[in-house]
Amino acid sequence: MSFRDNLQHLRATRNMTQEQLAMLLGVSRQSVTKWEAEKSYPEMDKLLKMCQIFECSLDDLVQGDLTGRAGAYEPATVPAGPPQDICGYDEHQRMLAWKVPTGVAAILVGIGVGLLLEGRAVPFFLKDTSASVLPMIVCIFIGIVIGLEFLVTAGMEHTAFVKAHPYIEDFYTEDERARARRNMAQACVAGVGLIFVGCACIIALGEYPSTEREGLCLLMLFIAAGSWLIIRYGMLLGRTNVAEYNRSVADDLELEDIASAQLDDARREELLRRKRKSDRLGAVCATIMIVATIVGLGLLFWPVLTSPNPDAFEPEGTSAMWFWLAWPAGGLICGVVAVLWKAFGDAGDRG
């Protein structure tokens, strides 16, 4: 007996439609249709989920014969009414909206505490040496490590989630979206207010050398708090735009992942098109930044080629300034290219 026959029989005995099974598994209805037409095969996690739904073993489902299975079954337990979050999308997005701003805030706090401790709390045997900046470096390093721990783990978990759920059916109501917009507006006001308080601290305390470090520390702490609020509630608002999530899946998956995902043909082709377009844009921006680096290095060392005494040349002053400006200029060019690429690319697709 084939997997297709078992699946069709198990659905029929529970009065379960393809749409209902797709909702329980977190896939599109077209995926279930392909399974039953033997045009594709579900991934292992979907097979295990089906074993839980139909109360059978994996061997029986894939290789056994369940068509003679006796017994009465209740209709499928499928959420009634509008679409529901059956794959943990909201919980995942809330996790991201906590980890990402916390990682950013941890880095800013580390910088703030480091500025406060600069030249202080130095061991006696390091006094009056260049190691007076050691406490600052240690604090900044600790803040960066803690921040990266949050940011990297969040990124890895998001990549794994996107790979498991390349398509999410929108389940948010207008009330939920309106609540997220209100929360975002309030968070922006509070976050900007905190940043202004930090600016007031540095203005008040930075005027005197004895309190300048305290002012810088408070500035960074208030910026960290304000950034945490703005980023968190911005991400909570962004989570309600499920259509954007479905569009951005191509940026997080590789071509092989998209090709093997349980999606209908139209959706798969759209993701593949977006992925190829994104890869081309990435190659163009990488080329721009490489050219910017070459130009910056040329501007930095050009004076040594024209200097009458090359051995005495030191890369500082105007040449150093142009060297550092090359990267921001390259970044701005990349931003312009990305905007034009998207605008003209979308217009070409519609045409």
Sequence spans of domains, the chain: 3-62, 87-261, 264-351
For 176-194, what is each residue's pLDDT tens digit? 999 999 999 999 999 999 9
For residue 241, count other CB atoms closer than 10 A to its CB. 15
Q: What percent of the chain has pLDDT over 70?
A: 74
15: helix, strand or coil = coil
Rounded to whole angstroms, how far apart are CA atoms 28 and 166? 10
Q: Give residue 298's pLDDT band: very low, low, confident or very high (50, 70, 90).
A: confident
Nearest to 120 by CA among 207, 15, 210, 245: 210
Q: Which two tokens stand for residue 52?
A: 């839980």
Q: Give residue 75's pLDDT band: very low, low, confident or very high (50, 70, 90).
A: very low
Q: For 186, list phi and psi in degrees, rounded to 5.
A: -65, -40
Q: Is the pTM of this model over 0.85?
A: no
Rounded to whole angstroms, how far apart are CA atoms 92 and 87? 9
- Rounded to an integer, the average pLDDT of 86-112 is 91
In the prediction, which pLDDT does 273 show? Answer: 73
For residue 290, count other CB atoms closer than 10 A to its CB. 11
In the prediction, which pLDDT does 33 show? Answer: 81
Among 96-100, 239-243, 287-291, the range with the most confident prediction by mean pLDDT is: 96-100
For residue 116, count other CB atoms closer than 10 A to its CB. 20
In the prediction, which pLDDT does 271 show? Answer: 66
Nearest to 67 by CA among 50, 49, 52, 54: 54
pLDDT surpassing 60 at residue 348? no
Nearest to 155 by CA among 104, 108, 87, 85: 104
For 219-235, what is each residue's pLDDT tens digit? 999 999 999 999 999 99
Q: What angle do CA 238, 248, 243 make, to 5 degrees?
A: 55
Burial 191-224 (b: 16+ CB within 10 A, else e): beebbebbeebbeebbeeeeeebbbbbbbbbbbb
pLDDT surpassing 80 at residue 68? no
- Rounded to an integer, the average pLDDT of 2-31 is 78
Q: Of residues 103 and 331, which shows the higher confidence score?
A: 103
Is residue 36 a contact partner of residue 8, using CB atoms and an 8 Å limit? Answer: yes
Q: Give residue 243's pLDDT band: very low, low, confident or very high (50, 70, 90).
A: confident
Choose the CATH number for 3-62 among 1.10.260.40, 3.40.50.2300, 3.40.50.300, 1.10.390.10.
1.10.260.40
Rounded to whole angstroms, how far apart are CA atoms 141 and 337? 35
In the prediction, which pLDDT does 168 show? Answer: 78
In the prediction, which pLDDT does 199 show? Answer: 92
151: helix, strand or coil = helix
Is residue 50 a contact partner of residue 42, using CB atoms and an 8 Å limit? Answer: yes
Q: Which two tokens stand for residue 277?
A: 């377009």
Rounded to whole angstroms, how far apart are CA atoms 216 and 330? 30
pLDDT surpassing 50 at residue 198? yes
Nearest to 29 by CA among 172, 171, 169: 169
Chain mean position to CA 299? 36
Q: Which two tokens stand for residue 98?
A: 């906590």
Q: What is the DSSP letter of 228?
A: H
Rounded to whole angstroms, how far apart are CA atoms 215 and 223? 12
Nearest to 180 by CA among 229, 238, 226, 225: 238
Rounded to whole angstroms, how far apart are CA atoms 195 and 123? 34
Burial 22-57 (b: 16+ CB within 10 A, else e): bbbbbbbebbbebbbeeeeebbeebbebbbebbebe
pLDDT surpassing 70 at residue 209? yes
Q: For 313, list phi and psi in degrees, rounded to 5.
A: -70, 135
